[in-house]
Amino acid sequence: MRVRYSLGPRPLTFRQRRCARRRGLRPSVAALLSLSAWLAGPLAVPAADYLATVGRFGDWTVTCVKGSAAGASSCAMEAPPRDLGNPAALLEIRVGTDGAPEISVDRFGNVAPDAPVYLRIDAGRPFRAEANAAGDVLWQGADADAVIAALSAGDILVIRAFTGDANRPTDAEIALVGFREAYRLFRDGGTAP
């Protein structure tokens, strides 16, 4: 039985087959080596985005990704730290499509899809948002700016969503300790002061 050492349309050269036999490599390993040599050739692969900055400030986490081509960082911040054993609600601040900050709340569990979500900072008036057609709860534009200003001046954030068939209110509390520092890092694109 003859074993053919090839990978697709490009067969191994005599030298590659001989080298593979000397080293005792199986045909599949030799083919993999041939593929890696072929890919390392003139094929240009653009560099991927990479994680540039991660900061943790109390319950707030800031993550910035830098694209090699663009050179600019893209940041997002979220709280509380993800707890897969006890998912409640997650607040994220990110840059929207218009370049301005937007606030998103991910609701977990058996949420009522048509019910509003409220953000209450300390004893201030609650900020209300409805889910859009995709199920996202967003504060954008002037509403996002007002929420961020209140978060910067506050101590405790309460996210209220409604769950179950009876639309029971469910609250998630997030401490705002470290919010100002986290927002500064987010706003500055991940560059430390």
pLDDT tens, residue by residue, 5-52 = 333 344 444 444 444 444 444 444 444 334 333 333 333 334 555 666
If one compares 189 and 165, the residue with the highest pLDDT of the two is 189
How many whole angstroms separate alpha carbon 160 and alpha carbon 173? 9
**What does the mean pLDDT of the chain come to?**
74
Predicted pLDDT of residue 101: 94
How many whole angstroms separate alpha carbon 177 and alpha carbon 183? 11
- Percent of the chain whose pLDDT exceeds 70: 63
Is residue 21 domain-shared with residue 104, that is, in the same domain? no
Is residue 118 domain-shared with residue 151, that is, in the same domain? yes
For residue 171, is pLDDT > 50?
yes
If one compares 160 and 41, the residue with the highest pLDDT of the two is 160
DSSP classification of residue 168: E
CATH number at residue 134: 2.60.40.1880
Phi, psi of 36 (to 5 degrees): -65, -35
Contact 66/52 with Cβ under 8 angstroms? yes
Predicted pLDDT of residue 23: 45
Half-sphere exposure of 38 (CA within 13 A, CB side): 15
Contact 93/76 with Cβ under 8 angstroms? yes
Is residue 30 domain-shared with residue 80, that is, in the same domain? no
For residue 82, is pLDDT > 80?
no
Domain extent, residue 177, equals 50-187
Is residue 177 domain-shared with residue 106, that is, in the same domain? yes
Is residue 76 domain-shared with residue 14, that is, in the same domain? no
Is residue 23 domain-shared with residue 102, that is, in the same domain? no
> How many folded domains does the chain comprise?
2
Is residue 33 domain-shared with residue 117, that is, in the same domain? no
Confidence (pTM): 0.68
Predicted pLDDT of residue 90: 85
Quick one: 52 exposed, middle or buried, by C-beta within 10 A (0-12, 13-18, 19+)?
middle
44 in any annotated domain: no
How many whole angstroms separate alpha carbon 118 and alpha carbon 96? 20
Highest mean pLDDT among 2-16, 40-54, 68-82, 139-153: 139-153
1 in any annotated domain: no
127 in any annotated domain: yes
Is residue 63 domain-shared with residue 21, that is, in the same domain? no
Mean pLDDT, residues 61-76: 76
Is residue 32 domain-shared with residue 83, that is, in the same domain? no
Mean pLDDT, residues 86-110: 83
78 in any annotated domain: yes
